């Protein structure tokens, strides 16, 4: 076996021989290594001293560079962590929990072109583009088109579409991954494939099966969706003393059954429930719906703002529609935070008394927040096997437990993490069961991490976390993995294992 530094040198030499310019390859000795490694990082827990770091960062600028990274990595025993926006909750795009693993980051930030064809209602977006850049480009091309994806504008297209991707248009149009028409991917053999050449099984797997497992997706062809030129948004806040528990209890049955042009999500924090809505139409119609379905919330004309869809993306990201649209292009966003999150799917309304007792959790000094995203509408009419994302009909809403903090040190971390875990444990009797499911894009290593069996990831062990994210689709994902990457080159702590051939 080559020594660690010998293998790294051979990897670097191989990249140079393949024509990857040295300025695109940073090693810990390079002056800009730290800046490049850290700038997109959204969770400082995974860059703490002692966390294993990549032997190199390959900032690919063209497909051939990504192909070389895969081929050279395989040849010289250097694994790749593919990174687009760097938002993974568990840092899997830039950190490895296995101190023995020699890995490089394949950074796709340069693949950020967004080309919109408004006449065809389609766009190509590079994996390294942010959602904000996609929204900005679509909004600039047409006021009547949109793309259904998540709320935070700095999230990367690559990871987001790989795991599903939901936001304010999901009740009308489903997930971001439901609206992918084609993709360009570098597979485990370093080949550049599109939908036709990769085949439908692999194309199915990359639209929701979670990042990393099947190759590096360089770009995605998106189906843009029609929206009215004017949409309406509102945010109303109701405190615990203004019957927030009653309202949340009712919301659970109302929100998933609302007309699909309307989404009403809730963020619960401290002693408030904040109801945030977007309606694909004008305020008068929205108020008719609110009066018919949820009069107790007491929404009035004064709460409404009528704006364009692209402006609504600014509204949800920054809680103001008057901020400049160019903020969508700011790739920096909120850094400098430590994060822990977990998620559940709720299938039966959680009783009032549980919400009432939740306030004692939310009022603790170390408390995080709860985010309730209602499903129903289009989400309920897509078959659970259409894409790897299985959480469709029968799920009322996604419940996310989210905490972030700024203080360094284990004491702060333990307090915050145990709040998230404690809140999650409290909710166990009231959420989905057998398995207790979660959303892969809200990555949670508490659900289980991979172990090797020989030189590949154990399928039996991975099933423990895998069926929580993917239910019955997990086995099909593993079958695709066995077909396209039987040696398990693309792997991380929660990558899809190859299905053993005896299965
Ligand atoms: P990152 O680059 O960290 O990648 C995530 C995973 O995908 C890693 O395993 C990585 O290796 C792999 N990967 C990345 N690019 C790849 C590529 N091109 N090909 C193959 N694999 C690739 N979700 C949601 O549905 N709705 C929402 O509103 C939000 N909001 C939100 C806000 C904030 C502040 C955060 C931190 C996260 C969210 N998310 C979310 C979750 C988000 O969708 C999820 O973290 C995505 O995986 C992030 O994608 P990035 O490309 O930024 O991550």
Rounded to whole angstroms, the Cα distance separating 112 from 135 reads: 13
Q: What atom in ligand 1 is closest to the CA of residue 185?
A: 19
E strand intervals along 304-429: 305-307, 338-346, 369-374, 397-405
Fold equal for 4-107 and 230-307+337-438? no
Give the Å distances, CA to CA, from 250 to 254, 314, 355, 420.
6, 29, 11, 24
Q: What atom in ligand 1 is closest to the CA of residue 127?
A: 18
- Measured from the CB, is residue 132 less than 6 Å from ligand 1? no
pLDDT of residue 126: 98
91: confidence class by pLDDT, cuts 50, 70, 90: very high
Residue 270 has a CB neighbour count (10 Å cut-off) of 12
Which contacts qualify for 335-338: CB closer than 8 Å, 24 or more apart?
335/39, 335/41, 335/42, 336/44, 336/406, 337/42, 337/43, 337/44, 337/404, 337/405, 337/406, 338/43, 338/44, 338/45, 338/404, 338/405, 338/406, 338/407, 338/408, 338/412, 338/413, 338/416
Please give the ipTM for the structure prediction. Answer: 0.99
3-state secondary structure of 400: strand
Which helix (H) or strand (E) is 220 found in, with range?
strand 216-223
278, 232 in Cβ contact below 8 A? yes
pLDDT at 2 over 70: no
CA-proximal residue: ligand 1, atom 1 (nearest): 86
Each residue's pLDDT tens digit, 138-154: 999 999 999 999 999 99
CA of 251 to the centre of ligand 1 (A): 28
468: confidence class by pLDDT, cuts 50, 70, 90: very high
CA of 89 to the centre of ligand 1 (A): 8
- Measured from the CB, is residue 85 less than 6 Å from ligand 1? yes
Rounded to whole angstroms, the Cα distance separating 391 from 398 reads: 9
Rounded to whole angstroms, the Cα distance separating 4 from 42 reads: 29
Of 421, 415, 426, give the one whose Cα is nearest residue 447.
Answer: 421
CA-proximal residue: ligand 1, atom 12 (nearest): 211
pLDDT of residue 99: 80
Which CATH number is correct for 114-226, 3.65.10.10, 3.40.50.10440, 3.40.50.300, 3.30.465.10? 3.30.465.10
3-state secondary structure of 490: coil
CA-proximal residue: ligand 1, atom 27 (nearest): 150
pLDDT at 331 over 90: yes
CA of 208 to the centre of ligand 1 (A): 11
211, 247 in Cβ contact below 8 A? no
- Measured from the CB, is residue 216 less than 6 Å from ligand 1? yes
pLDDT of residue 3: 67
pLDDT at 282 over 50: yes
Which CATH number is correct for 4-107, 3.60.15.10, 3.30.43.10, 3.40.50.1370, 3.30.70.1710? 3.30.43.10
502: confidence class by pLDDT, cuts 50, 70, 90: low
Residue 253 has a CB neighbour count (10 Å cut-off) of 12
pLDDT of residue 1: 41
Query: Which of the listed residues 54, 211, 267, 399 should we mutate to test ligand 1's pocket, taking the one with most ligand atoms within 8 A of CB?
Result: 211
Rounded to whole angstroms, the Cα distance separating 412 from 10 reads: 42
Residue 261 has a CB neighbour count (10 Å cut-off) of 19
pLDDT at 412 over 60: yes
42: confidence class by pLDDT, cuts 50, 70, 90: confident
Q: CB neighbours of 36 closer than 8 A, spacing ≥ 6? A: 26, 57, 59, 107
pLDDT at 298 over 50: yes
47: confidence class by pLDDT, cuts 50, 70, 90: confident
336: confidence class by pLDDT, cuts 50, 70, 90: confident
Rounded to whole angstroms, the Cα distance separating 108 from 94 reads: 12
pLDDT at 370 over 60: yes
Query: Which of the listed residues 36, 147, 162, 178 should we mutate to test ligand 1's pocket, taking the one with most ligand atoms within 8 A of CB?
Result: 162
CA of 439 to the centre of ligand 1 (A): 12
CA of 312 to the centre of ligand 1 (A): 21
What's the average model confidence in pLDDT over 112-122? Answer: 98
What's the average model confidence in pLDDT over 428-444? Answer: 98
What's the average model confidence in pLDDT over 362-384? Answer: 98
177, 208 in Cβ contact below 8 A? yes
pLDDT of residue 291: 98
CA of 65 to the centre of ligand 1 (A): 22
CA of 130 to the centre of ligand 1 (A): 10
Each residue's pLDDT tens digit, 343-356: 999 999 999 999 99
Q: Which CATH class is domain 230-307+337-438?
A: alpha beta
Each residue's pLDDT tens digit, 151-165: 999 999 999 999 999
- Spans of all domains in the chain: 4-107, 114-226, 230-307+337-438
What's the average model confidence in pLDDT over 297-317? Answer: 98
In this structure, of 48-52, 173-177, 263-267, the range with the lowest mean pLDDT score is 48-52
How is residue 325 written in tokens? Answer: 């649209």
- Measured from the CB, is residue 156 less than 6 Å from ligand 1? yes
pLDDT at 377 over 80: yes
Percent of the chain residues topping a pLDDT of 70: 99
pLDDT of residue 457: 98
Residue 118 has a CB neighbour count (10 Å cut-off) of 14
Each residue's pLDDT tens digit, 53-80: 999 999 999 999 999 999 999 999 999 9
């Amino acid at each position: 076996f080559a020594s660690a530094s010998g293998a790294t040198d051979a990897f670097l030499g191989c990249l140079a021989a393949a024509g990857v310019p040295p300025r695109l390859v940073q090693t810990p000795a390079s002056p800009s290594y730290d800046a490049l490694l850290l700038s997109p990082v959204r969770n400082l827990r995974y860059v703490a001293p002692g966390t294993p770091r990549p032997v190199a960062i390959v900032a690919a600028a063209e497909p051939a560079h990504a192909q070389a990274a895969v081929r050279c990595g395989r040849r010289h025993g250097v694994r790749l962590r593919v990174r687009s926006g760097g938002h993974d909750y568990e840092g899997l795009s830039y950190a490895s929990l296995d101190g023995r693993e020699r890995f490089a980051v394949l950074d796709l930030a340069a693949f950020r072109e967004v080309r919109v064809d408004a006449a065809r209602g389609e766009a190509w977006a590079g994996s390294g583009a942010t959602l904000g850049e996609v929204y900005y480009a679509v909004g600039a091309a047409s006021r009547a088109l949109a793309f259904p994806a998540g709320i935070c504008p700095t999230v990367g297209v690559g990871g987001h579409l790989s795991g599903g991707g939901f936001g304010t248009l999901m009740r009308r149009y489903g997930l971001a991954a439901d609206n992918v028409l084609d993709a360009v991917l570098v597979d485990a053999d370093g080949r550049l494939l599109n939908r036709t050449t990769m085949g439908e099984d692999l194309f199915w797997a990359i639209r929701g099966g979670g990042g990393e497992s099947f190759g590096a997706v360089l770009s995605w062809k998106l189906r843009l969706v029609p929206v009215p030129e004017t949409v309406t948004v509102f945010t109303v806040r109701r405190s615990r003393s203004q019957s927030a528990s009653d309202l949340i209890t009712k919301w659970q049955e109302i929100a998933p059954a609302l007309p699909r042009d309307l989404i009403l999500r809730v963020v619960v924090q401290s002693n408030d429930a904040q109801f945030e809505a977007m309606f694909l139409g004008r305020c008068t119609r929205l108020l008719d719906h609110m009066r018919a379905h949820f009069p107790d919330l007491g929404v009035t004309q004064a709460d409404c703002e009528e704006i364009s869809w692209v402006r609504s993306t600014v509204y949800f990201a920054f809680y103001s529609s008057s901020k400049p649209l160019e903020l969508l292009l700011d790739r920096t966003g909120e850094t400098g935070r430590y994060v822990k999150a977990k998620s559940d799917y709720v299938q039966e309304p959680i009783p009032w008394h549980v919400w009432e007792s939740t306030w004692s959790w939310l009022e603790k000094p170390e408390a995080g927040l709860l985010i309730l995203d209602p499903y129903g509408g289009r989400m309920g009419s897509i078959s659970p096997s259409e894409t790897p994302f299985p959480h469709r009909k029968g799920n009322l809403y996604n419940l996310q437990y989210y905490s972030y903090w700024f203080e360094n040190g284990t004491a702060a971390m333990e307090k915050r993490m145990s709040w998230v875990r404690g809140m999650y444990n409290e909710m166990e009797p009231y959420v989905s069961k057998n398995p207790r499911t979660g959303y892969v894009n809200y990555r949670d290593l508490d659900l289980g991490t991979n172990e090797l069996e020989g030189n590949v990831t154990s399928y039996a062990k991975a099933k423990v976390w895998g069926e929580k994210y993917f239910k019955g689709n997990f086995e099909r994902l593993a079958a695709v993995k066995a077909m396209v990457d039987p040696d398990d080159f693309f792997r991380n702590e929660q990558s899809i294992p190859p299905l053993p051939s005896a299965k």
